[in-house]
């Protein structure tokens, strides 16, 4: 823990700017993956709509700052909150459905957001996007930006951790494990699914806003379906039923993109292949597998000592 913090603090002073930017991006993608996992891994709802929510967060921040002349701290508050509101409305309509029907409806809403961004040129800039975001000078240098964004991400991930470990988070997991059973221990399943989806949207909006800051603008690509698959892949790679699984998965995805992408433009092929192998042979994900090996060992020790 302390070692990790030390690495984070020292890192920008020992590596080049491109690395600092890469790690900043990684932090944002980690937040995005963990935000998404509140829906998928924790509550067991498959959503394809998070790309739209990520884009919404980005655009709300950029529109607020460029068109509304709102200071960054306020825009950075408004983005997740408004995204959460949007998510709440979408969720309110979607949680009536379950399983694949829920997923398809979230996909439709995600596409709706994407199409809105694409078509409302006067506000969103259409396919040109919105560029030229002015960042406050304290945050302008890559190193300062790195520290600011990492601090925000860590705070957000800590919040997610608290949520997941709380009785509320436990309740979400009971819904994931067995909806019927959850119902008949007195849990209002739809209500909790909506709450989880909204919380997930809040943090997804924050990740989108941070991403817009890093990219100094918002682009319609932020809101595509492909964006919605990223955190899902991250969860599958790392393991979505263990807290740090999606974070690890996000790291793997970005590494594959960056390092293999530098050698060949066919990196998605490698990513796809990795995914297939993992789904076939390691369905719990990498961190998930490690966790369950540990758990099995602990139980064996327990039994032999009893």
Partner 1 sequence: MDLDILKVKSLSKAFGKLQAVDRVSFTVQPGVVKSVIGPNGAGKTTLFNLITGYLRADTGEITFKGMNITNLPPHELNRKGLARSFQIVNIFPRFTVFENVQAAVISRMGKSSSIVTSAKNVGREEAFQILDRVGLSEQAGYIAGTLSHGDQRIMEIAIALGGRPELLLLDEPTAGMAPEETYATVALIKRLVSEFGLSILVVEHDMDVVFSISETIVVLHQGGMLAQGKPEEVRQNEMVQRVYLGEEITREKGQ
Q: Which residues bind partner 1 (CB under 8 A)?
A: 162-163, 165-171, 173-174, 177-178, 180-189, 192, 195, 299, 302, 306
Residue 32: CB minimum distance to partner 1, A: 21
Whichever of 187 and 270 has its CB closer to partner 1, that residue is: 187
Q: Are the beta carbons of 149 and 26 closer than 8 angstroms? A: no
Whichever of 192 and 197 has its CB closer to partner 1, that residue is: 192
Whichever of 144 and 183 has its CB closer to partner 1, that residue is: 183
Residue 189: CB minimum distance to partner 1, A: 7
Q: Are the beta carbons of 145 and 215 closer than 8 angstroms? A: no
Whole-angstrom distance, CA of residue 34 vs CA of residue 297: 27
Burial class (CB within 10 angstroms; exposed 0-12, middle 13-18, buried 19+) of 285 = buried
Whichever of 143 and 188 has its CB closer to partner 1, that residue is: 188
Residue 26: CB minimum distance to partner 1, A: 27
Residue 156: CB minimum distance to partner 1, A: 14
> Angle CA(34)–CA(35)–CA(38) in degrees, nearest 5?
90
Whole-angstrom distance, CA of residue 19 vs CA of residue 154: 19
Residue 88: CB minimum distance to partner 1, A: 16
User: Which candidate, 200, 212, 226, places its Cα nearest to that of 83?
Assistant: 200
Whichever of 26 and 45 has its CB closer to partner 1, that residue is: 45
Whichever of 116 and 183 has its CB closer to partner 1, that residue is: 183
**Pairing, β 130-131 against β 217-218:** antiparallel
Whichever of 255 and 299 has its CB closer to partner 1, that residue is: 299
Tell the residue number behind the tokens 């996000």, with chain if given. Answer: 250
Task: Give the DSSP per-residue string, 77-113.
Answer: HHHHHHHHHHHHHHHHHHTTS-HHHHHHHHHHHHHHH
Residue 193: CB minimum distance to partner 1, A: 13
Residue 48: CB minimum distance to partner 1, A: 25
Whole-angstrom distance, CA of residue 146 vs CA of residue 150: 6
Whole-angstrom distance, CA of residue 103 vs CA of residue 271: 23
**Displacement of CA 117 from its chain's centroid (Å):** 20
């Amino acid at each position: 823990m302390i070692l990790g913090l030390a690495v984070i603090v020292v890192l920008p002073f020992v590596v080049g700017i491109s690395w600092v930017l890469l790690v900043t991006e990684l932090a944002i993608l980690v937040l995005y993956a963990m935000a998404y996992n509140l829906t998928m891994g924790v509550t067991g709802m498959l959503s394809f709509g998070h790309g739209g929510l990520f884009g919404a967060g980005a655009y709300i921040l950029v529109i607020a700052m460029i068109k509304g002349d709102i200071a960054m701290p306020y825009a950075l508050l408004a983005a997740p909150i408004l995204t959460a509101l949007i998510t709440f409305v979408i969720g309110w309509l979607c949680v009536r459905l379950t399983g694949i029907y829920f997923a398809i409806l979230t996909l439709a809403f995600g596409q709706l957001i994407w199409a809105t961004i694409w078509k409302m040129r006067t506000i969103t800039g259409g396919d040109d996007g919105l560029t030229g975001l002015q960042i406050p000078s304290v945050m302008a240098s890559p190193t300062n930006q790195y520290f600011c964004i990492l601090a925000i991400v860590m705070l957000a991930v800590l919040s997610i951790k608290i949520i997941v470990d709380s009785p509320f988070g436990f309740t979400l997991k009971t819904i994931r494990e067995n909806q019927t059973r959850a119902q008949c221990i007195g849990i209002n399943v739809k209500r909790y699914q909506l709450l989880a989806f909204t919380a997930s949207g809040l943090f997804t909006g924050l990740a989108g806003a941070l991403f817009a800051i890093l990219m100094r603008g918002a682009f319609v690509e932020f809101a595509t379906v492909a964006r919605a698959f990223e955190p899902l892949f991250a969860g599958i790679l790392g393991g979505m039923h263990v807290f740090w699984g999606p974070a690890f998965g996000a790291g793997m995805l970005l590494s594959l993109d960056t390092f293999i992408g530098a050698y060949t433009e066919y990196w998605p092929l490698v990513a796809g292949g990795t995914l297939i192998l993992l789904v076939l042979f390691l369905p719990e994900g990498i961190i998930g597998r490690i966790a369950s090996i540990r758990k099995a060992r602990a139980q064996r020790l327990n039994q032999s000592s009893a």
